[in-house]
Amino acid sequence: MYHSRTPSTQGKTHRIEIYFATFANHYSLKKNCVMLKYTLSFSGSVLCRKACVPQRNKHISCYNIPNSFMFKIIRKKLGFFKRGILGFFQNKMEKFVPHSNAHPNTLQFPHTNIHTLPHPPELNLFEIGRSVKNKPIRCFQIGSGKTKLLYAFGIHGNEVGTVKLAGHFLKWINEHLNELNKITLFIVPCLNPDGFSLALQNPDYFSGGKIGRLNANNVDLNRNFATKTFQKESVWYFSEKIKVYCGEHGNSEPETKALTGFIEKNDIKILFMFHNAGKEVMGNKNTLSQKLTKLFCEKSGFHYVSDEDWAKLNQTGTAKEWCDEKNIAYIEVEGSARWGSDWKNQKEAIISVMRAA
């Protein structure tokens, strides 16, 4: 946005000053408002360019644009480049085919030596629904205890590492079945298989890893839940504020329907939802959720996000709010790697929280 001042006469040159305001919103909600002041002559040549940044003590600092503006762009590009290099290697090191169609009772795990796990009777595999492009949304059931926990990964298909994390978790569970006396685990390794396939086919390592976030109807599934706050359009804070489409109405998407339908039918006590990357954990208003969220933070070293901080993100139609309305404990984990499983960082936290549930 901009506004221009009335032309004024200073010395012999007619000048016009134009102000551009840019907003850089970070995930941590730190806001920087940068005014770009262009002083132009009427012939259109640029006489002066300055970036004016409001400071905390209400002073305004001005910088010459070529330095500060270019520095900001370079820093942003370098950040993408650094993450891109890391993402490239993480993705190459941990290959994973989570939805092998070769045999419905097999799952390939994310190891350098990819191996196929035989299907033990304790590990029940079924579909909870289909995606927009008719891909199966699979769910593993392990154990048959009274307390039912649901773990969902890959709601945002670009968050490839979460699907790999599901594979590691499943492998660990399969080796520790004695842990499951009192609980039933339901594990959905990939809730958004269409977005996930797109992300794998178009790995945009060097532009931030955005491709594949949405489902095949271009809907952000974590804004599509049928909550009181649902709106057709909401926001996603990436390196800037991005508008996202949330569907025609709450629960309009087959992926959201599959998840909510399954939860309602099965009396799920706790929903765990895995995202990346932000090294953050948040719960909902449920007391158990708050207790387990804090335990997850303690074991992983991730940052605790309070309800007040979450509210500042202005998100609508989220799984968190839906669980609040249904009185289900909700725990959302923002892991630390976009393309890697992050298993080493989250293993202790995931297992400790599962035991405490």
Q: Judged by CB, which is closer to Zn ion: 227, or 276?
A: 276
How many angstroms separate the Cα of 233 from the Cα of each of 229, 247, 314?
11, 8, 11
Q: How far is CA 210 from the centre of its chain?
A: 10
Contact stretch for Zn ion (CB under 5 A) within 135-143, 154-162, 243-251, 281-289: 154-162
d(CA 148, CA 355): 12
Q: Which residue, 131 or 184, is less far from Zn ion as judged by CB?
A: 131
Beta strands in the chain (DSSP E): 2-4, 8-10, 13-25, 31-41, 46-54, 60-64, 123-130, 136-142, 147-153, 183-188, 233-237, 241-245, 270-276, 280-283, 303-305, 329-335
Give 143 or 161: the residue with its C-beta nearer to Zn ion: 161
**Nearest approach, Cβ of 236 to Zn ion (angstroms)?**
8
Closer residue to Zn ion (CB): 129 or 335 = 335
CB closest to Zn ion, residue no: 275
Instruction: Find, among 204, 251, 190, the residue nearest to 225 by Cα.
Output: 251
C-alpha dist (Å) from residue 45 to 17, 21, 48: 12, 20, 9
CB of 159 to Zn ion, least distance (A): 5
State the nearest-atom distance from the C-beta of 300 to Zn ion, in Å: 17
Closer residue to Zn ion in complex, CB, 142/319: 319
Q: Which two tokens stand for residue 288?
A: 């158990």
By CB under 5 A, the residues from 264 to 303 that bind Zn ion are: 275
Quick note: the x/- pattern for Zn ion over 232-271, rule CB under 5 A, is ----------------------------------------
Q: For residue 14, what are its two tokens?
A: 């007619």
- Closer to Zn ion by CB, 99 or 156: give it: 156
Dihedral angle over CA of 294, 296, 302, 307, nearest 10:
-40
CB of 14: closest distance to Zn ion in angstroms?
A: 51
Q: How far apart are the first and last CA of the chain?
A: 50
C-alpha dihedral (293, 297, 300, 305), degrees to nearest 10: 100
**Binder of Zn ion out of 156, 168, 299, 338 (CB under 5 A):** 156
Q: The tokens of 127 are what?
A: 């579909």
Contact 26, 237 (CB under 8 A): yes
In the complex, what is the shortest distance from the CB of residue 353 to Zn ion, in angstroms, rounded to a whole number?
A: 19
Does 338 sit near Zn ion (CB under 5 A)?
Answer: no
91-99, 111-119, 149-157, 308-316 -> range binding Zn ion (CB under 5 A): 149-157
Structure tokens of 218?
């271009």
Task: Provide the minimum distance between the beta carbon of 289 and Zn ion in the complex, in angstroms, as a whole number.
Answer: 18
By rule CB under 5 A, what count of residues binds Zn ion?
2
148 versus 156: smaller Cβ distance to Zn ion: 156
Q: Find the shortest distance in angstroms from Cβ 190 to Zn ion.
A: 13
Pairing of strands 2-4, 13-25: antiparallel
Beta carbon nearer to Zn ion, 27 or 63: 27
Min CB(327)–Zn ion separation in Å? 24
Would you say 131 or 174 has its CB closer to Zn ion? Answer: 131
Q: Are strands 270-276 and 147-153 parallel, antiparallel or unpaired?
A: parallel
> Least separation, in Å, of the C-beta of 185 and Zn ion?
22
User: How many CA atoms, within 13 angstroms, populate the side-chain half-sphere of residue 115?
Assistant: 6
Chain residues binding Zn ion by CB under 5 A are 156, 275
